[in-house]
Amino acid sequence: MREPVLVALMHLFALAESLHLKAFSAKGRTIAASFLRNISRSEEFIKLYDDYLDFYERELKENESPGLQELMVKRLGKKLCRELMLPERLVVLIRLTESFLQDGQLSTSELSFLESIANEFNITIADTKALLDFAQGLTAEWKDRSSLLVIESPETESSDELEGAWIEQNKPISGIRDKVITREGLVGKIEILHLSDARVILFKYSGSSELFINQQKAEPGLLYLLTDGCIIRGNNVSPVYFSEIIGRFYQADKPKIILQGKDISFSFGQKGTGIAPFSFCEESGHLVGIIGGSGVGKSTLLRLLNGQLPLKSGTITINGYDLHRDKFRLQGMIGYVPQDDLLFEELTVYQNLFYNACLCFGNMSKQEITGIVNKTISELGLEEIRDLKVGTPLNNILSGGQRKRLNIGLELMREPSVLLVDEPTSGLSSTDAERVMLLLREQANKGKLVIINIHQPSSNIFRLFDSIWVLDRGGYPVYAGNPIEAVHYFKTIAFHANALENECPVCGNIDTEQILRILEAREIDEQGKLLGKRRRQPEEWYRLYKENILQNDEPKAEKSLLPRHVSGIPSETRQMVVFSKRNLLSKIGNIQYLIIAFLEAPLLALILAWFTRYETESGYFFSENKNIPQYLFMAVIVALFIGLTISAEEIIKDRRILLRESYLNLSWFSYINSKVMYLFALSAIQTMLFVLVGNLILGNHDMIPAYWMVLFSTACFANLLGLNLSSGLKSVI
């Protein structure tokens, strides 16, 4: 518990005793001391409590105005709000409520005090009432119990009750039933409360089983905040994972997505195995991490999942529909964010999102698209930089975290059901990495299946995953399951003495690096030096995986209804307009490109015409200029050169963006036409500038249209040739 939380509680305990609230009357110090009994520096906090109590009692004695209590609560609430985050404010309110409840039900004055504190903490009235009722055990009186989840032991029914049970289960539903999770061996019941406004999950247990939240013992009757990745355990009780709990609240009304792979494998021809046979089954609402060292096949596996690479064997299905055979039905279902930036660097943040949205939502008006873009910018936390140009990673206009969030936003705005992200935290600071991962966790909570690959996650990021897949060298899968259980699994196989200890008992952090350390542990020679040979080869880890983890009886996903997507492909004409506008704005935003494009032709004309201008002693006459044929030949060469230089990189520069947009099944014809129209227009301007400058110097005013037609048609030919080269080559170098 952070120090500001403890300081806040000492503040509130002292204020409660000074106001002579029933539970704290003359025994606030005892309550504070009992609360601090397991806290280091407890004496320091008790002294702090005494100082606060003395301060509040003196202030109340000196000023007996009727509104003083309310004023003191407001003043303290505002002070604490500047120091505590919302979850910490809830912890303070919970602990204060539990302290009041030590003396029985809440009195009117205590209830008023708690409601005032909650109001100053900016906790909504609905969440405050739900929390106080939950703490007092009054939830049975609620008519709407949709925010409650009960975990209990399954009831056994006798054969005489089966007929009545069938009728009860199949009668028309009236009202809202409790959400229930069953666990064999659980004595009593666990109640879970979802505070919808604060988006927080609370836990309370009543019973005699010994339960633990991660490694902290859960005392019966007390309230606990459940955080991402936590596990509820008990003796002879199957674990309850956070993802299972949160899925009951956030995804209850959304169509289920099941991504299933059966014995999928891939190889790089003669180069060896890319991915060894691997089976999996993941559902919507999960955040899945692919973990492993460099070069083990994490990115390759993602490219198999998005359909870019063909499978050597096996099948991948979404709700029973094959990824390769049913491409049309699965259109728009998958979003893919590669590791590299897929942004137009000359456009602003808003323009990148807007023109992407125009290609995703062809059946929407401009106002509707603008609304979606503004909402996406708000969700990504990019409001302050919406009008900044993206720029290159080198000129550092946007931070790495902002660029990564923008890349993810380009996919999120079209609402894919399955989101694949390649190395979202690569090159980011710990703060930016955590912010990006929280964004992806939020998408999973909204019902998406999010799969990412990540090299070495921090402890906080590791807890966000619902499950992880661990790959070893050669593309061998060696683990698939809960991330916290993974630590226990590898430590057990490696015969660690503390195999049951998944996290640090003092700070609660998970040493995520130990998984790879155990995987890649090397043998030791007689001198105690490390050898190059590993203790266990990837093939052995793979064998252990198949023996201990791989489920051979995974249910086959039957074909089920796929969610509808609001995105729709615009018409070919509208696509061409969007491509043209986006291309034109990106060119206008590049000052260096504009200078070269519009000064190159007249400068070359000036040089060429000046050196081919032939003057006699009697002066210059165009009809007597013997260098005109050479000038015309060089002018044609210049037109070819200019036409090629402006077109040779057009498609190559867009290649990665085209790969992302390939999931939209956009028209290649519209894209090429937009490029051709732009290049022809630019070539028309360039050749006109060339002809005007050259012919004015040479004194040939009458043949400007004829010269321009020849050079313009030549430049157009060069444009088409350059586009073909750009489309067929990976680089112009």
Greater model confidence, 688 or 35: 688
Query: For residue 40, is pLDDT > 80?
Result: no
At 68-120, the pLDDT tens digits run: 667 777 877 888 888 888 888 888 888 888 887 877 778 888 888 888 888 88
Average pLDDT, the chain: 83
Residue 162: per-residue pLDDT: 41
User: Residue 34 — very low, low, confident or very high, per pLDDT cuts 50/70/90?
Assistant: low
Please give the average per-residue pLDDT across 502-519, as a whole number: 77
Q: How far apart are CA 346 and CA 654, in angstroms?
A: 13
Q: How far apart are CA 452 and CA 462, in angstroms?
A: 12
Q: Are 523 and 534 in contact (CB under 8 A)?
A: yes
Residues with Cβ < 8 Å from 499, sequence gap 6 or more? 488, 491, 492
- Which ranges constitute the DSSP H helices of 84-143? 86-101, 108-120, 125-136
Residue 314: per-residue pLDDT: 92
Please give the average per-residue pLDDT across 468-488, as a whole number: 90
Q: How far apart are CA 182 and CA 153, in angstroms?
A: 5
For the chain, count helices (H), then strands (E): 24, 21
Q: How far apart are CA 707 and CA 709, in angstroms?
A: 6
User: Residue 333 — very low, low, confident or very high, per pLDDT cuts 50/70/90?
Assistant: confident
Most confident of 9-18, 75-84, 283-292: 283-292
Query: For residue 157, is pLDDT > 50?
Result: no
Q: Are 263 and 314 in contact (CB under 8 A)?
A: yes
Which token pair is 408?
């993810």
Could you tell me what percent of the chain has a pLDDT over 90? 25
User: Residue 142 — very low, low, confident or very high, per pLDDT cuts 50/70/90?
Assistant: confident
Tokens 């705005």 -> residue:
413
Could you give the angle at which helices 704-728 and 628-647 cross, rounded to 10 degrees?
40
Q: Which of 469-483, 688-702, 719-733 has the lowest mean pLDDT?
A: 719-733
At 667-724, the pLDDT tens digits run: 899 999 999 999 999 999 999 999 999 988 888 888 899 999 999 999 999 999 999 9
Q: Are 510 and 459 in contact (CB under 8 A)?
A: yes
Among 430, 429, 376, which Cα is nearest to 405's? 376
Q: Which of 22-36, 333-347, 556-570 has the lowest mean pLDDT?
A: 22-36
Which token pair is 172?
């028309």
Residue 331: per-residue pLDDT: 81
Q: How far apart are CA 94 and CA 96, in angstroms?
A: 5
Q: Which of 146-150, 229-233, 419-423 has the lowest mean pLDDT?
A: 229-233
Residue 556: per-residue pLDDT: 56
Query: For residue 488, is pLDDT > 90?
Result: no
Among 306, 262, 280, 261, which Cα is nearest to 417's? 306
User: Residue 176 — very low, low, confident or very high, per pLDDT cuts 50/70/90?
Assistant: very low
Query: For residue 165, is pLDDT > 60?
Result: no
β-pair partners for 453: 290, 422
Q: How far apart are CA 567 and CA 670, in angstroms?
A: 19
Q: Are 209 and 237 in contact (CB under 8 A)?
A: yes
Q: In 3-state terms, what secondary structure has residue 291?
A: strand
Question: String of b and e for 402-420 (b: at least 16 CB within 10 Å)?
Answer: bbbbbbbbbbbbbbbbbbb
Instruction: Fill in the amino acid letter for 724.
Output: N
Residue 166: per-residue pLDDT: 40
Cα–Cα separations (whole angstroms), residue 476 to 261, 264, 273, 483: 15, 12, 9, 18
Write the burial class of residue 578 (CB in 10 Å: 0-12 exposed, 13-18 middle, 19+ buried). Answer: buried
Instruction: Fill in the amino acid letter for 522.
Output: R
Could you give the angle at which helices 108-120 and 68-81 cross, rounded to 10 degrees?
40
Query: For residue 169, is pLDDT > 50?
Result: no
